[in-house]
Structure 1
Amino acid sequence: MASPRISNGTNEETNNIISSLNFGTTEALSQIRNLTDVGAMTRYLHECIAYQRGIDLELETLLSSKTDLEKKLNNLSKSAQVLELVKMDSDSMLSNVKTTCNLADQVSSKVRELDLAQSRVSTTLSRIDAIVERGNCVEGVKKALGAEDFENAARFVKTFLEIDSMYKDSGSVEREELLNSKRVLEGIVRKRLGAAVDQRDHSSILRFVKLFLPLGLEEEGLQVYVAYLKKVIAMRSRLEYEHLVEVMEQGGGGSEVNFIGCLTNLFRDIVLAVEENDEILRSLCGEDAIAYAIIELQEECDSRGSLILKKYMEYRRLSRLASDINSYSKNLLSVAVVEGPDPKEIERYLDEILSLTQLGEDYTEFMVSKIRGLSSVDPELGPRATKTFKSGTFSRVVQDIIGFYVILEEFFMVENVRKAIKIDEHVPDSLTTSMVDDVFYVLQKCCRRAISTSNSNSVLAVLSGAMNLLSNEYQEALQQKMMEPSKLFLGGVGVQKTGTEIATALNNMDVSGEYVLKLRHEIEEQCVEVFSAPADREKVKSCLSELGEMNNSFKQVLNGGMEQLVTTVTPRIRPVLDSVGIISYELSEAEYAENEVNDPWVQKLLHAVETNAAWLQPLMTTNNYDSFVHFVIDFIVKRLEVIMMQKRFSQLGGLQLDRDVRALVSHFSSMTQRTVRDKFARLTQMATILNLEKVSELLDFWGENSGPMTWRLTPAEVRRVLGLRVDFKPEAIAALRL
């Protein structure tokens, strides 16, 4: 029994060996020799036979490709012969390339030598040409000077100097001769130019100034030419100024003494001098010449322009006039004691000053923009030129004259506002008196004129004066017009006249508030256009904020006057309201139906309102009449709430109250353009509560269930209104959670 187990173990081992045999190797042969099992040997024999057959097939395949391999081998042998030939050819080509390279190097060297020789020849020829040309220049200058052909002489000098800068030859006799000729030419040009300037021969001046450029004296030429332009402008300005003084001494009228024309001509001459001579200036020193000319000519503006403005101030005696105004009233807003200067004459002076300052502003703006438009100017010249305009003598004199302008403008404004207040009268077909339009026309005119000066300080000064006038004298005048409204119904047949006066006074206040806002808006828009500096805009904006406060002040006074007017009307309405107290709202169906046919009190109340209030509508502004109606509504609503809280209601009574309130809302809505529903909101909510079927229905309209409705009644008031229903039990009302 033990042998089979051993045999089985041996068989398993043998199977493992056979399965791992690799025929054709030494290891396989050694393993086969160790086999003892016949079955394994048999299987191995079959596998070996199969392996042998596979080798035979592979051998046959290899033998079948013998012919192809032999052909390829023959081809390779032939290719080897070809490669030998190629190698020989490539060696030959390499030799040729080396030979060609050496030849190219030799040719390139020769070419470089030829190029160098050619360059030297060219330089030599140029040198010879320069020597010849220099000789021609020397001879040409002499001949041109002899013939007074200065343009050609200058060109010869320029050509010689260009040649001389290229080929230095300080010891050349020709150079000394030409430099002598150049000095002679310079002397002639300077002399002839000076004579032309003295004779004001513009064509000759242009001729000789252009010669400074080829002579290398462009800066000197620029200075001479700009000095000539200054001289021409000064001469013209002096003649006009002398004529101006002559007319003044002869006692000429204001129309003959034309300061504006004199200053305009000065500015025009300066601008034309820059514009018309742009080409010649640029030809001398480029854009730097433009900046230099502007700076130099501005000196003439500072000199002559300042003289004109000072003479104007002297002619109009502005200093004395300002002193007279100050003595006339230390405070321009106080009441005058003695008669001051004529405002009409002052206005003429103001227009003249404005024209003069606007001329200066337009001229300065044009010239500064001209400077800023120069792109390649010397970095130091641009700021220097701009500073010349901002801090020059002319600018300082303009500031002086603007100081006088402010004094005159404030005087003109105060006097005309006072005059408008003094001659105030009713204007046919107008809801306001003449004072309102006249005062704001004067203020608007003065503020516009101040803004036109383009000076923020003058604008602030005039604005301050305007606001002082509005808040003091003008507001006092408005309040004086608002007579005691209690006199409204004391005039008998004069009620209409008295009502018109009261309504007009209230209209004056209302329209004045609107005009204040319009004036503020207009000034803001104009200042944005005129003042580019944020600091100036902020100053004006800060000052204008006081106009908004003034509008609020007018509204407060207006509301006070409106309340007084309402107190004169409400006593005539109160009896009708008091009669509501005796009307019962504990209605049966028959009584409810009767009230629908014969209204117990609403129509009487509306008739009383129409009789005592509606007649004022055509006399009032829309805003005032709406405010008046709302004041009347406030009185009626408050009185009705008190009365209704003292009554008892049935459900039909609640319906009756709802109908009454709706009738009031409908009628008053037709009387005013403003909404009135919010005025009757509490009464409407009282009617809603009194219409409920039962107490618990209130919760359908309360709290989260209220929807868009906002309750105006407090929880305590709601309980009180519920208690007005005769059929609601106090226990149910008390149980409500509100």
Structure 2
Amino acid sequence: MLSINNENKQNQPDESRLAVVHSDSLTMLLEGVARIFEVHQPLVETYYGPEYVLTLAEVLQEQCDEEASHILDQFVQNRKFNVKYKLIDKYGRSSTAKINEKIDLLELDQVLSEVALLQTRTELYFRFIKRRVANGLRVTAQNFVEKSSVTEKVPNKEKIIILEKLVRECRLGCRVQELIGRYILMEEFYTRETLSKAVELNAGGDDAGSLVDDVFYVVRKSVQRASSSSNVDCLCAVVNNACALLETDFYHLLQQKLKNGYPAAGSLAEAYTTATAYVSVVHQGKIPAPYGTDSAEKARSDFLATLNAVDSAAECIKGLKETLTHEIEQNFQQSSLSGDEFSIQETRQMTAKVDNCCSQLVDLAAKFENLAFSACDQLMNVAAKQRLKLIAERFADYSHILDENQFNEYEASDPFMEYFVTTLDSLLETFRKNLSDNNYDQFFKFVADETAKQLEKTIFKCSFNRLGALLFDKQVRELTAYYSGHHFSGGGGFAVREKFSRLTQTASILNVDTLSEAKEFYQSSSTVAWRLSAQDVKKILQMRQDFGSDENTMSDVPKPAKVERTSRFCSQDGFWGKRAAIVCKNVQLARPNSSTKTGHGFLISWDDDEAETNFKKLQCGRMVSERCDDVLNEFSTPFIEKPELGDDE
């Protein structure tokens, strides 16, 4: 009795395998055919020759196609695969069409997983057949070469073509390829609908990070399922669809949230909010949603959460690309294990397709990073710019014409630096706690850049003596150390020091003892990439009140030696300019003279190939470059004779 019960249990189907029963059936069939091939291949090679292994594969494949077709027919019928496909196809063809019969996304998920599994098993079987037949053909080719008396051409390439045609055009291959073609459309529908549900569920929530997790869980699942199918074309199509959905729906959703902006704090902002609420009461006769301090605080929190979500999305896309690359190496590396020319060529083609596919993920991640970059800039302008201006203006409240006692007091305890550090720490504390590391680093760099710009404007309102210049130099070094001491990703400390380079050079010029020393220092420092023009140097030296009246005549300040280099001329109409400007460290741009008719003449100087590369585009009287935000003040320069252009110009 016990044995009968055990036998009944063994005959009962495993419920855990019911969702993939058709793929299991196909797997058993293909494994059986593979075993038959393994058993008979040595016999055929021994008694008929290795070249007849292809004939054995053709005979077995004909029987395999017959049995596999029955299994696939049962799959299509039992899973209502074609019915689901027609509904989805109808929905996709018309934007106004609605699916009358609701599709269960959970059921569709199981069907798609089984299709991917069917493709995986079929692809594995085809690789086995191709590897076995290719090995037999390679043995045949070696035998032909060893028999010198045989003059017949080795039929290796012709046999390879027949083998590829057998795999591509057999009934099993055609049926599975048909399923995969429909699978791609159904996978796109599944991904889109699931993403829509995820966005809908998080529509009223404050946790934007949860939305990112849900969205990329769906995307990662779809991409990994396509990757497991071992079909490169299928994988690339699914990745393309996923990138399109992320770039349109998800990206635009986050972008729209960021467009609402970060509400500014202060009485003016609160007054505007109150006025808006009053207008709503007058015109609509009802009080709007909660407003005032609470709503503004919620808007700020939502903005920061969305900004973090954008950064998290960029990181998720990068992680998806790395995971995808790793899985591709695992799933497709079997194609080249045999080492034959056919497999190696096939692997190269797959690698090229996958690389092109992954490049889309790289571009998409860069797009999200650019959105976060712009949002951080917006955040700095709204939340920090005005306060940084007030901090910088506080610098002018302290005299920099000092005696020994005052200098010693400031050196022991600098009230401006204490005020600066305390105020800035208070300003940054909220963002330090609520922003992600990448966003806070970028925001902090914007704050550093704005601090340097505001201080540059303020110091030209001040006057200095020798001790005051020494104090200013100490303050600049402390400012630079404060900013560069914070954690930055990707060498941000160096970037911050670059932002304060003009202030550092200003402090160096202010600390000269005489005007002649300033001239010598400015002209002879050929190793320094000067960010200050000659006109800037004149203004800086004029702030030194302890220079005599004769020394304050700055008309003879020369250009630095760094600027005097071979020049090249580019002009649209052949006119020459007599004014010049320093652009981004080491590029000299001659602006048009007032006497020119069109004003399209340019004089460009550089001393390295990088400058030439970055500033090679000229358009309609303007210099165009990717980052040309460091244009400094103009200064006079003598007329330069037209140089002789080389052939490369």
Report TM bin, short chain.
Answer: 0.5 to 0.7
Mapped partners of 1:308, 1:584: distance in 2: 91
Mapped partners of 2:193, 2:448: distance in 1: 43
Q: Counterpart of 1:613 in 2: which secondary structure?
A: helix
Q: Does 1:503 align with 2:323?
A: no
Once the two structures are overlaid, the 10-residue window that deviates more, 586-595 or 316-325, is 586-595
Mapped partners of 1:593, 1:569: distance in 2: 32
> 1:528 touches 1:537 (CA, 8 Å); kept in 2?
no
Q: 1:348-367 counterparts in 2 under 5 A? A: 348-367=110-129
Q: Which residue of 2 aligns with 1:446?
A: 222
Mapped partners of 1:331, 1:459: distance in 2: 26
Q: Which residue of 1 aligns with 2:86?
A: 323
Q: Which residue of 2 aligns with 1:7?
A: none
Q: Does 1:478 align with 2:242?
A: no
1:64-119 alpha-carbon deviations (Å, 9 max, x no partner): xxxxxxxxxxxxxxxxxxxxxxxxxxxxxxxxxxxxxxxxxxxxxxxxxxxxxxxx
Q: 1:585 to 1:256 in 2, by over 3 A?
A: closer
> 2:263 touches 2:299 (CA, 8 Å); kept in 1?
no
Q: Which residue of 1 aligns with 2:59?
A: 296
Q: Which residue of 2 aligns with 1:722?
A: 541
Q: 1:382 to 1:695 in 2, by over 3 A?
A: closer
Q: 1:349-388 counterparts in 2 under 5 A? A: 349-374=111-136, 375-376=139-140, 379=155, 383-388=161-166
Q: Which residue of 2 aligns with 1:396?
A: 174
Q: Does 1:681 align with 2:501?
A: yes
Q: 1:384 to 1:365 in 2, by over 3 A?
A: same
Mapped partners of 2:100, 2:399: distance in 1: 72
Which of residues 178, 188, 198 in structure 2 aligns to 1:410? Answer: 188
Q: Which residue of 1 aligns with 2:371?
A: 557
One-letter amino acid matched to 2:30: F
> 1:291 touches 1:385 (CA, 8 Å); kept in 2?
yes
Mapped partners of 1:463, 1:365: distance in 2: 24
Mapped partners of 2:442, 2:22: distance in 1: 55
1:140-195 alpha-carbon deviations (Å, 9 max, x no partner): xxxxxxxxxxxxxxxxxxxxxxxxxxxxxxxxxxxxxxxxxxxxxxxxxxxxxxxx
How many residue pairs get aligned? The number is: 484
One-letter amino acid matched to 1:369: R
What is the CA distance between 1:296 and its match in structure 2? 0.5
Q: 1:454 to 1:588 in 2, by over 3 A?
A: same
- Using the size of structure 2 for normalisation, the TM-score is 0.68
Mapped partners of 1:517, 1:458: distance in 2: 21
Q: Which residue of 2 aligns with 1:578?
A: 393
What is the CA distance between 1:474 and its match in structure 2? 0.6
Q: 1:662 to 1:267 in 2, by over 3 A?
A: same
Q: Counterpart of 2:263 in 1: which secondary structure?
A: helix
* Structure 2 alignment gaps of length 5 or more: 1-12, 142-153, 271-291, 336-345, 560-649
Q: 1:579 to 1:258 in 2, by over 3 A?
A: closer
Mapped partners of 1:282, 1:687: distance in 2: 87
Which of residues 300, 304, 314 in structure 1 aligns to 2:77? Answer: 314
Which of residues 589, 607, 614 in structure 1 aligns to 2:429? Answer: 614
Q: Does 1:466 align with 2:242?
A: yes
Q: Does 1:632 align with 2:447?
A: yes
Higher RCO structure, 1 or 2 (CA under 8 Å, sep 6+): 2
Which of residues 656, 667, 671 in structure 1 aligns to 2:482? Answer: 667
Q: Which residue of 1 aligns with 2:555?
A: 734
Q: 1:287 to 1:337 in 2, by over 3 A?
A: closer
Q: Which residue of 2 aligns with 1:218?
A: none
1:382-430 alpha-carbon deviations (Å, 9 max, x no partner): 65344322221111111101012112211121122222223338999xx
Q: 1:338 to 1:558 in 2, by over 3 A?
A: farther
What is the CA distance between 1:434 and its match in structure 2? 1.1
Once the two structures are overlaid, the 10-residue window that deviates more, 698-707 or 268-277, is 698-707
Mapped partners of 1:406, 1:420: distance in 2: 21
What is the CA distance between 1:284 and its match in structure 2? 4.1
Q: Which residue of 1 aligns with 2:594?
A: none
> 1:509 touches 1:555 (CA, 8 Å); kept in 2?
yes
1:196-238 alpha-carbon deviations (Å, 9 max, x no partner): xxxxxxxxxxxxxxxxxxxxxxxxxxxxxxxxxxxxxxxxxxx
Q: 1:413-428 counterparts in 2 under 5 A? A: 413-424=191-202
Q: Which residue of 2 aligns with 1:285?
A: 48
Which of residues 240, 262, 268 in structure 1 aligns to 2:31? Answer: 268
Once the two structures are overlaid, the 10-residue window that deviates more, 577-586 or 272-281, is 272-281
Q: Percent identity?
A: 27
What is the CA distance between 1:699 and its match in structure 2? 4.3
Once the two structures are overlaid, the 10-residue window that deviates more, 378-387 or 669-678, is 378-387
What is the CA distance between 1:682 and its match in structure 2? 0.9
1:688-726 alpha-carbon deviations (Å, 9 max, x no partner): 11111111222453344343x322111211121111111
Q: Which residue of 1 aligns with 2:567?
A: none
Q: Which residue of 2 aligns with 1:653?
A: 468
Q: Does 1:519 align with 2:338?
A: no
Q: Counterpart of 1:506 in 2: which secondary structure?
A: helix
Higher-strand-fraction structure: 2
* Structure 1 alignment gaps of length 5 or more: 1-246
- Using the size of structure 1 for normalisation, the TM-score is 0.60
Q: Counterpart of 2:85 in 1: which secondary structure?
A: helix
1:14-73 alpha-carbon deviations (Å, 9 max, x no partner): xxxxxxxxxxxxxxxxxxxxxxxxxxxxxxxxxxxxxxxxxxxxxxxxxxxxxxxxxxxx
Mapped partners of 1:452, 1:359: distance in 2: 10
One-letter amino acid matched to 1:350: L
Mapped partners of 2:253, 2:97: distance in 1: 13
Mapped partners of 2:313, 2:94: distance in 1: 24
One-letter amino acid matched to 2:69: S
> 1:426 touches 1:433 (CA, 8 Å); kept in 2?
no
Q: 1:539 to 1:291 in 2, by over 3 A?
A: closer
Q: 1:717 to 1:256 in 2, by over 3 A?
A: closer
Higher Cα Rg: structure 1 or 2? Answer: 1
Mapped partners of 1:664, 1:340: distance in 2: 64
Mapped partners of 2:466, 2:20: distance in 1: 92
Q: 1:546 to 1:488 in 2, by over 3 A?
A: farther
Q: 1:550 to 1:264 in 2, by over 3 A?
A: closer
Q: Which residue of 1 aligns with 2:358?
A: 544
What is the CA distance between 1:443 and its match in structure 2? 1.7
1:607-637 alpha-carbon deviations (Å, 9 max, x no partner): 2211122232122121111111111122221
Mapped partners of 1:680, 1:668: distance in 2: 10
Mapped partners of 1:610, 1:495: distance in 2: 22
Mapped partners of 1:256, 1:519: distance in 2: 27
Q: 1:288 to 1:603 in 2, by over 3 A?
A: same
Mapped partners of 1:683, 1:669: distance in 2: 15
Q: Does 1:595 align with 2:410?
A: yes
Q: 1:440 to 1:611 in 2, by over 3 A?
A: same
Pairwise CA RMSD: 3.2
Q: 1:648 to 1:355 in 2, by over 3 A?
A: same
Q: 1:256 to 1:345 in 2, by over 3 A?
A: closer
Once the two structures are overlaid, the 10-residue window that deviates more, 579-588 or 525-534, is 525-534
Mapped partners of 1:276, 1:285: distance in 2: 15
One-letter amino acid matched to 2:134: R
Once the two structures are overlaid, the 10-residue window that deviates more, 723-732 or 461-470, is 723-732
> 2:417 touches 2:475 (CA, 8 Å); kept in 1?
yes
Mapped partners of 1:600, 1:372: distance in 2: 82
Q: 1:488 to 1:418 in 2, by over 3 A?
A: farther
Q: 1:578 to 1:279 in 2, by over 3 A?
A: closer
